[in-house]
């Protein structure tokens, strides 16, 4: 259930599901998100689910906070939701020219890079949410031994396809963007396609992602 509902400015409802980050709370967020999305209420202009929050934006010339809050409070959460539950494999090359922060990470974690990568590749990751930039998946949870803070000075340009780690999460930079996560490699796979309007994201909340190690040669030939 939603723990607290408040306003975020004058044109959005802030639904707080708690402070913990785990699959259980995130699934509740996604259920609310999907039920609201499927219901297509007039005046609701955007839904932004995250680990443990859901923001519901509305058009202030059509509706207001009180009315939208009532909709959310009285919402019937459907049982058979069309939530995505795909298993997706992402090819990932961690050779030097793509693994921009692996050396730094060796020092931060005090572990050799082969151990870091072995640990990373051995797990499957759950997609909690997508966003910040178009199509970027926030995946978790990575092994406790790989938790590292963000870069002290974020990069102005992180290359498209980069896979980054921070705390218990990893993500994929769907296109070149500023960013502060520790980059361990790069995927040749296109994770976001703006020309596919119905389904631009390869990875959606609820999906499970595993990474497949590829070498530089395979990376270079991937899109040929």
Partner 1 sequence: MSENFFKVIRAGINTTFQDLGRNNLNHIGIPISGVMDRRNYIISNKILQNIPSHPIIEFAYQGPRLVYHGDPLNISVSGDVKFKIFKNKNEIEGKCYETIILEDHDEIDLISTNKSVYGYLAIGADLNLDYQWKSCSINTKANIGSNKGKKLQDNQKIEVSNIKELSRRKLDHINSKIENIRVIKGTNFHYFSKESQAKFFKKEYSVTKLTDRMGMRLEGERLDNIINTNIKSEGLVKGVIQIPADGNPIIMLADHGTIGGYPKIATVISADFDKLSQLTPGSKIKFKEVNLKDAETIFKLYEMETNNIISKIL
The number of helix segments (H) and strand segments (E) in the chain equals 5, 13
The CA distance from 138 to 142, in Å, is 11
Q: Which residues contact 34 (CB under 8 A, 6 or more apart)?
A: 78, 81, 82, 83
Asked if 2 is part of the footprint of partner 1 (rule: CB under 8 A), the reply reads no
Minimum distance between the CB of residue 25 and partner 1, rounded to whole angstroms?
Answer: 11
Q: Buried b vs exposed e over 63-95: b needs ≥16 C-beta within 10 Å?
A: bebeebbebbeeeeeeeebeebeeebebbbbbe
**Region at 50 (left for phi over 0; alpha for psi -120 to 50; beta for the rest):** beta
Q: Which of 31, 32, 52, 72 binds partner 1 (CB under 8 A)?
A: 52
Contacting partner 1 within 113-172 (CB under 8 A):
129-136, 138
170 beta partners: 139, 165
Minimum distance between the CB of residue 106 and partner 1, rounded to whole angstroms?
Answer: 24
Minimum distance between the CB of residue 6 and partner 1, rounded to whole angstroms?
Answer: 7
Minimum distance between the CB of residue 150 and partner 1, rounded to whole angstroms?
Answer: 9
Residue 49 or 188: the one with the smaller Cβ distance to partner 1 is: 49
Asked if 5 is part of the footprint of partner 1 (rule: CB under 8 A), the reply reads no
| Tokens read off for 113 | 């890079």
Asked if 11 is part of the footprint of partner 1 (rule: CB under 8 A), the reply reads yes
Per residue, the 3-state secondary structure of 147-166, as one string, reads: CCCCCCCCEEEECCCEEEEE
Asked if 54 is part of the footprint of partner 1 (rule: CB under 8 A), the reply reads yes
Residue 94 or 129: the one with the smaller Cβ distance to partner 1 is: 129
Binding mask 168-197 for partner 1 (x = CB under 8 A): ------xx-x--------------x-x--x
Cis-peptide into 74, omega within 30 deg: no
Q: Which of 200, 208, 210, 213 binds partner 1 (CB under 8 A)?
A: 200
Binding residues (CB under 8 A) for partner 1: these are 6-12, 14, 16, 19, 21, 33, 37, 45-55, 57, 60-61, 64-65, 129-136, 138, 174-175, 177, 192, 194, 197, 200-201, 204-205
């Amino acid at each position: 259930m939603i723990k607290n509902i408040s306003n975020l400015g004058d044109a959005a409802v802030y639904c707080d599901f708690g402070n913990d980050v785990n699959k259980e709370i995130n699934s509740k967020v996604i259920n609310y998100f999907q039920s609201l999305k499927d219901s297509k209420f007039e005046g609701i202009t955007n839904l932004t689910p995250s680990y443990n929050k859901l923001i519901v934006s509305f058009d202030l010339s059509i509706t207001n906070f009180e009315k939208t809050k009532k909709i959310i409070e009285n919402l019937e959460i459907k049982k058979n939701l069309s939530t995505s539950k795909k298993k997706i494999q992402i090819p990932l090359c961690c050779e030097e020219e793509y693994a921009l922060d692996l050396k730094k990470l060796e020092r931060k974690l005090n572990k050799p890079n082969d151990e870091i990568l072995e640990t990373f590749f051995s797990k499957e990751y759950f997609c909690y949410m997508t966003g910040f930039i178009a199509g970027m998946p926030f995946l978790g949870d990575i092994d406790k031994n790989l938790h590292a803070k963000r870069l002290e000075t974020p990069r102005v340009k992180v290359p498209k396809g980069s896979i980054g780690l921070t705390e218990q999460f990893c993500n994929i930079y769907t296109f070149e963007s500023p960013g502060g996560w520790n980059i361990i490699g790069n995927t040749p796979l296109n994770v976001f396609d703006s020309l596919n309007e119905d389904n631009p994201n390869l990875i959606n909340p609820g999906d499970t992602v595993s990474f497949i190690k590829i070498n530089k040669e395979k990376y270079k030939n991937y899109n040929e």
